[in-house]
Amino acid sequence: MTESAPRNFSLRNLWRTTTVRLTAMFIAIFVGFAIVLLALIAYQTSIQIQREQFREVEREITQIRLLASRSGVRTLAFAVQRLADRPGPGIYYLGDPTGMMIAGNVTEFPPAVLAETGRFELQYERGREIYGGPEDEVQTHGTAVVESMELSNGLRLVVGRDVGERRGFNAIILRTFFAGAVGIILLSILAGGFTVRYVLRRIDGITGTSSKIMSGSLSERVPVTGRNDEFDAVATSLNAMLERIEKLMIGLKEVTDNVAHDLKTPLTRLRNRAEAALRDNADPETQRAALETTIAESDQLIRTFNALLLIARAEAGTSTGSFSDIDLSEVVADVAELYTPVVEDAGMELETAVEPGLKLHANRELIGQALVNLVENAIKYGHIEEREGGRIIVSARSEAGRIIIEVADNGPGIPDADRARVFERFARLEASRTEPGAGLGLALVSAVVRLHGGDIVFEDNAPGARAVITFPVR
């Protein structure tokens, strides 16, 4: 299979990617929320300024009304004029009932303002003395919000504020709002672009690795940046899976080669014996012996294929029976009792040290078969030819939330370099080449232990070898 073509980063293709669409959606949500928040702040600020102006107007009106109730017209006019002469947005007018102005900074108002009581918004003109002389008076105009009322002494009072300054401030807020909104949109698009580019680059790395693997390069791995982010977590998991797949493929190739190599010899022997039995000069005894040997060789081949099938099922996570809570102590004790006569016939001793009441959720038949293979392996390779005293020890105990099963012998042991290799299919050490078997017993043990979530290792028993199985207690 050829490697996939590079991604075409056109706008149409980019929009089809989930990353771009999700990023665009989040940008739209964020920008919308930010704009609404800025608009709310600007609105509340404008309202607060307006309220402050109204509070000032109400406070001044209260003071003037109190002064009108306690003082004469002259004092009241003097106080209103002092307020009117101050620089600022204040609007002041004090007039008699006929509409004649007594004090203030605005001379003319619409008739409705002087005739009625209430709050009004109006256009006004006023004169402001800059140097103190009438010739230096400058006319100013604008828009104001005023409060009109009649005092207790019959005079007409108008107090207000120019809204031009407030509207100017509102314009500043509005310009700031638009500038902030544009900035948020640009920064969000920039951040979204970087995010999309980063995510797509990481995804393209995974896609490129997958394409190379599909083209036959099983050694390829997904790049890991070392940032320990979620992409590195996914890449690490994928690399572990790819490592496992590569090992399985290599193991499958080795198994195929080993099956072809190890079965070729017995099949050749079967053919030769059958051909010899069919010769014209073969006597009946020779033919019978050839048939018996053929049956024995066939039985060995069937056992080999059955072992391969059982290993394949165990490694695939499927067992020949269901899982249940079993008494592991009873299983170990039964296997030890079953093989005690066999061990004695081999000139060895079998000792047991089994802690009672060990419970495990497992397949009883597979666990029993694994223990049988370990004991038979110890009998076959743990004997001592040059001296007596061969001993096999089978033990089971619980320790720190784990169940540990050990099968130990005091034979020649296993070299350090071969302790991991003995669990491979058709693995035969040089010292055991002359022994019968296909090299599948320990491979089956390893597959059964992994199926139950455990581990198995061979350790030095000084002298001899010790197989240690560890099961987690769930």
Q: Residue holding tokens 């293709």?
A: 13
Question: What span, in angstroms and rounded, lies between the C-alpha atoms of 378 and 467?
Answer: 9
Average confidence (pLDDT) over 117-125:
82
- Confidence grade of residue 470 (pLDDT, cut at 50, 70, 90): very high
Q: Residue holding tokens 């949500």?
A: 29
**Which of 36-50, 55-69, 222-236, 433-447 reaches the highest mean pLDDT?**
55-69
Average confidence (pLDDT) over 255-282:
71
Amino acid letter, residue 96: D
- In this structure, the answer to whether residues 127 and 207 fall within a common structural domain is yes
Does residue 235 form part of some domain? yes
pLDDT digits (tens, 9 = 90+) for 306-323: 666 666 666 665 555 577
- Confidence grade of residue 468 (pLDDT, cut at 50, 70, 90): very high
- Confidence grade of residue 16 (pLDDT, cut at 50, 70, 90): low
pLDDT digits (tens, 9 = 90+) for 31-80: 888 888 878 887 888 788 888 888 888 888 888 888 888 888 888 889 88
Average confidence (pLDDT) over 134-163:
76
- In this structure, the answer to whether residues 294 and 171 fall within a common structural domain is no
Average confidence (pLDDT) over 175-203:
80
- pLDDT, mean over the chain: 78
Which pLDDT score, from 0 to 100, does residue 444 have?
Answer: 79
Question: What span, in angstroms and rounded, lies between the C-alpha atoms of 272 and 463?
Answer: 43
Which pLDDT score, from 0 to 100, does residue 397 have?
Answer: 92
- In this structure, the answer to whether residues 196 and 243 fall within a common structural domain is no
Question: What span, in angstroms and rounded, lies between the C-alpha atoms of 123 and 101?
Answer: 18
- Confidence grade of residue 391 (pLDDT, cut at 50, 70, 90): confident
> For residue 104, with 0-12 CB atoms within 10 Å meaning exposed, 13-18 middle and 19 or more buried, which class applies?
buried
Does residue 111 form part of some domain? yes
Residue that finishes a domain, picked among 254, 280, 314: 314
- In this structure, the answer to whether residues 51 and 192 fall within a common structural domain is yes
Average confidence (pLDDT) over 430-435:
48
- In this structure, the answer to whether residues 163 and 242 fall within a common structural domain is no
- The answer, yes or no, to whether residue 299 has pLDDT greater than 60, is yes
Does residue 464 form part of some domain? yes
- The answer, yes or no, to whether residue 164 has pLDDT greater than 80, is no
- The answer, yes or no, to whether residue 240 has pLDDT greater than 80, is yes
Q: Range of 60's domain? A: 1-215
Q: Residue holding tokens 């055991």?
A: 432
Query: CATH number for the domain including 459?
Result: 3.30.565.10
Which pLDDT score, from 0 to 100, does residue 257 have?
Answer: 65
Which pLDDT score, from 0 to 100, does residue 285 have?
Answer: 79
- Confidence grade of residue 128 (pLDDT, cut at 50, 70, 90): very low
The dihedral formed by the CA atoms of 418, 419, 421 and 426, expressed in degrees to the nearest 10:
90
Residue that finishes a domain, picked among 314, 341, 371: 314
- In this structure, the answer to whether residues 236 and 170 fall within a common structural domain is no
3-class DSSP string for the chain: CCCCCCCCCCHHHHHHCHHHHHHHHHHHHHHHHHHHHHHHHHHHHHHHHHHHHHHHHHHHHHHHHHHHHHCCHHHHHHHHHHHHHCCCCEEEEEECCCCCEEEECECCCCHHHHHCCEEEEEEEEEEEECCCCHHHEEEEEEEEEEEEEECCCCCEEEEEEECHHHHHHHHHHHHHHHHHHHHHHHHHHHHHHHHHHHHHHHHHHHHHHHHHHHCCCCCCCCCCCCCCCHHHHHHHHHHHHHHHHHHHHHHHHHHHHHHHHHHHHHHHHHHHHHHHHCCCCCCHHHHHHHHHHHHHHHHHHHHHHHHHHHHHHHHCCCCCCCCEEEEHHHHHHHHHHHHHHHHHHCCEEEEEEECCCCEEEECHHHHHHHHHHHHHHHHHHCCCCCCCCEEEEEEEEEECCEEEEEEEECCCCCCHHHCCHHHCCCCCCHHHCCCCCCCCHHHHHHHHHHHCCCEEEEEECCCCEEEEEEEECC
- In this structure, the answer to whether residues 354 and 437 fall within a common structural domain is yes
Does residue 220 form part of some domain? no
- The answer, yes or no, to whether residue 405 has pLDDT greater than 50, is yes
Does residue 373 form part of some domain? yes
Which pLDDT score, from 0 to 100, does residue 129 have?
Answer: 42
Burial 171-191 (b: 16+ CB within 10 A, else e): eebeeebeebeeebbeebeee
Does residue 41 form part of some domain? yes
Residue that finishes a domain, picked among 187, 215, 243: 215
Instruction: Look up the pTM and report it.
Output: 0.46
Amino acid letter, residue 258: N
- In this structure, the answer to whether residues 21 and 169 fall within a common structural domain is yes
> For residue 81, with 0-12 CB atoms within 10 Å meaning exposed, 13-18 middle and 19 or more buried, which class applies?
middle
- In this structure, the answer to whether residues 238 and 149 fall within a common structural domain is no
pLDDT digits (tens, 9 = 90+) for 66-116: 888 888 888 888 988 888 888 878 888 888 887 788 888 887 888 888 888
Which pLDDT score, from 0 to 100, does residue 3 have?
Answer: 41
Residue 362 main-chain phi, psi, to 5 deg:
-155, 180
> Six-digit token pair at 224?
């890991």
Which pLDDT score, from 0 to 100, does residue 262 have?
Answer: 61
Does residue 223 form part of some domain? no
Range name among 12-26, 339-353, 401-415 with the lowest pLDDT average: 12-26
Residue 101 β-bridge partners: 95
* % of the chain beyond a pLDDT of 70: 80
Strands 348-354 and 390-399: parallel
Domains identified in the chain, total number:
3
Average confidence (pLDDT) over 182-188:
82
- In this structure, the answer to whether residues 262 and 287 fall within a common structural domain is yes
- In this structure, the answer to whether residues 304 and 363 fall within a common structural domain is no
- In this structure, the answer to whether residues 182 and 286 fall within a common structural domain is no
- Confidence grade of residue 140 (pLDDT, cut at 50, 70, 90): low
Which pLDDT score, from 0 to 100, does residue 394 have?
Answer: 92
Does residue 52 form part of some domain? yes
- The answer, yes or no, to whether residue 135 has pLDDT greater than 80, is no
Residue 12 main-chain phi, psi, to 5 deg:
-65, -45
